[in-house]
A = this chain, B = another copy of it.
Amino acid sequence: MPPEIMSGAILEPDHLRHALDVREKLESRLDHLLDASSAIPENLSAAMEHALFAPGKRLRPLLVYLIAEPDLAQENAALDLGCAVEMVHTASLVLDDLPCMDDARMRRDRPTTHIAFGQATAILSAIALLSRAFGIIAELDIPAAKRTRLATILSTAVGHKGLAAGQEIDLNGRSTLSGTAEVENLNWLKTGMLFEASAEMGAVLRGLRPERMREVRIFARHLGLAFQTADDLLDVFGDAEGAGKDVNKDAGKPTIVTLHGAGHAHMTCRQHVEAAERALRASGVSPAPIEALIAKYLKLETRFDGQ
């Protein structure tokens, strides 16, 4: 039985149920927002659906929604904003998996998009998902000033100071990373930044005050680092079937696991979760559904025991 990474959280079925209900609503909105029509080349449309509707945890859109805690009037905006973030995340996975990047063949229990549709269509589907995300944000039924603020946050998280930068360092700059701080910075760019952007966007939608917004950001940053560290552990100790994707892709690259061993990585992950929980509770957002999600997904398949 795998040990829980979570420290104090008790997995309460009602809270988890709420989070999973939101996920069902998200799935249904995603389908609606993909905006399928005869104007879209069939192959492109199928590639976008292949990537987007593969089974995923939908953590980022859930963060958006559970931090926004929308009333009825804002519920659609919270769902659509979450879907926009999921489209961006999916686009980044499609590109990361390309032969010229991580050269992965499986993702979310399916053949990667370029394996199923060819590289060109995979790249075009990523561009289309990314563009659609910005289009969805531009059309949210909320004041225009909030929409532009959300677009700024997303643009920064994706671009040359965010995901794109992280992937570039991961591919061409990893060998130059020397210490924990540099590896954590890379993890932040690759994972933490979109987690942080998701949480921040939820908080903007909610209209959270600046000092509480700060706590939300701290929460999300630690959560992102916890997930990335867990992912690094999974890459070493997981199997492809359990992970739903290729593993052992990081062999030879410095990660928290390869630098300091699995025991240290496990402890780092736990510390990030604890710091995330503290900040979440200080932010004024209802913590229970989010903690239930973390408890569900931050279990590690641990075949190590502190070495």
A123 CB–B CB distance under 8 Å: yes
Of the candidates B130, B132, B145, the one whose C-beta lies within 8 Å of that of A131 is B130
- Closest residue of chain B to A162 (Cβ to Cβ) is B131
Q: Is A276 part of the contact surface with B, judged by Cβ < 8 Å?
A: no
**Across the interface, do A152 and B135 meet the contact criterion of CB distance under 8 Å?**
yes
Q: Is the CB of A132 within 8 A of B120?
A: no
Interface residues on A, range: 35 or more
Contacts known (A40-B161, A164-B127); A119 close to B100, Cβ less than 8 A: yes
- Known contacts A124-B168, A164-B131: does B119 contact A137 (CB below 8 Å)? no
B41, B123, B125, B169: the one contacting A169 at CB < 8 Å is B41
Inter-subunit contact A120/B156 (CB<8 Å): no
| A158 in the interface (beta carbon within 8 A) | yes
Interface: A258 (CB within 8 A): no
7 A-B interface contacts by CB (under 8 A): A40-B160, A118-B172, A125-B164, A131-B158, A132-B159, A138-B152, A143-B144
Q: Which residues of A contact B (CB under 8 A)?
A: 35, 37, 39-41, 43-45, 48, 91, 95, 98, 100-101, 118-121, 123-128, 130-132, 134-135, 137-139, 143-145, 147-149, 151-152, 154-156, 158-165, 167-169, 171-173
